[in-house]
Amino acid sequence: MAGVDVVKVAVVGLGVAAQVVYLPLLARRRDVFQVRAVCDLDREHAETVGREIGATAFGDPVAMMDAGGFDALIVLTHGSHGPIVKQALDRGYWVMTEKPLAYSLAELEGVPADARLMVAYMKQYDPAAQRMLESLHEVGGTTAIRQLDVTVLHPSEESQLLFARARVTKPPADRLAPYAEADERALTAAVGTSSERLRRLYARVVLGSVCHELSLMRMFTVPPDTVDHVAVWPVDVFPPSIEVSGTLRGGGSGRYGIRWHHLPSYPAYHETVRVHHDHGSLELHFPSPYLLNAPTVLSCLSRVGTTERRTVYRDVAEAFERQLVAFHRFVTQEERPLTGLEGALEDIVIAQRIIRRYAEWAGIPVSGECVKKSERAREPLTEPLG
């Protein structure tokens, strides 16, 4: 693909993420992308979107991949993306997939370490987050970190999307069933069958949302070294709040804490990432991800002589758009993405360790990969865990 200016793409999964974020940005970036095909299990919805943007519509992702006419696939479906990603990679497509890449490590067996795969963690491409990474390097990197704290206040998705007027997809039950069954098998492989609430916590909360925070931690400090404590509350609410803490890798003595709260009627989405280091503090404030070009704010606190100095950075460049441009460079120049297979595997393993720690604390029996393989999170991941 070297030297190709415009990448022909297909989009599978035409729900909220596609309608509110990806399709508008792909239209904005016609200079580097051309959408040739769209797919949704709700075939009527796919045909409506296809007519609107001038793309061929499909109701089955395998049929779309076999028909071809594009070079790269953007996967935005619900649930685990492992099966569709593997099918696309096997057919030679470049793939960018939304999180989570998969629910289980078993789904990714046989995927090579150098796969044409990018996992979409848009916060890694936020200009403020990347400036924070530069600031960390300037003060000594990971070894200088004393504490990394993340707090997420997460309203319901419905309340965040009141402005968007996205169309609801309604796939037939018989079309959904094979994908739902595959998800259930993957969850069983990952955490066992003892607790349906635990399975939902793993899939919908840890891999469905907290994985964004894990990806930022991985970018700033490399993955966590330990998962010492996990609390989940209230017991009669879902999604609940979750708190995770432990030690950081990287040769220092730093610790981390993540607090994620689903608050359905909270006024707006807020996420704060704070790093306290030997020479000051760094603080990121993320707005709702659905508000395109709303700036993330970085505040840097430092000392100059006897003066406390606070420097604030704001940049309206859109993280999702920067991520798409990075995917274009991956396809056309083979510039590796910030998260490929190895990073996504790290996040799955850490997610399983979180579930295992909580289950141990709560007295819930677990089985599967989170018991058998999660301790390998301490080792470098250069290939899928078999």
CATH number at residue 255: 3.30.360.10
In a domain, 383, yes or no: no
pLDDT per residue as tens digits for the range 3-60: 458 999 999 999 999 999 999 999 999 999 999 999 999 999 999 999 999 999 999 9
Last residue of a domain, one of 122, 148, 170: 122
Amino acid 383: pLDDT? 38
In a domain, 2, yes or no: no
User: Are the C-beta atoms of residues 125 and 255 closer than 8 Å to each other?
Assistant: no
Same domain, 188 and 232: yes
Tell me how crowded residue 167 is: count the other CB atoms within 10 A of its CB.
14
pLDDT per residue as tens digits for the range 121-155: 999 999 999 999 999 999 988 888 999 999 999 99
Tell me the β-bridge partners of 118. Answer: 96
Same domain, 131 and 100: no
Last residue of a domain, one of 106, 122, 138: 122
Same domain, 182 and 248: yes
Which strand ranges, in their side-by-side order, compose the sheet holding 296-304? 229-233, 241-247, 255-262, 145-154, 270-277, 280-286, 296-304, 307-315
Give Cα 301 distance to the centre of its chain. 29
Last residue of a domain, one of 105, 122, 139: 122
Where is pLDDT greater, at 318 or 144?
318
Same domain, 150 and 194: yes
In a domain, 81, yes or no: yes
Same domain, 62 and 207: no
Give Cα 167 distance to the centre of its chain. 23
Give me 305's structure tokens. 């002589």
Same domain, 303 and 212: yes
Which residues constitute the domain of residue 169? Answer: 124-378
In a domain, 31, yes or no: yes
Paired sense of beta strands 307-315 and 255-262, if any:
unpaired
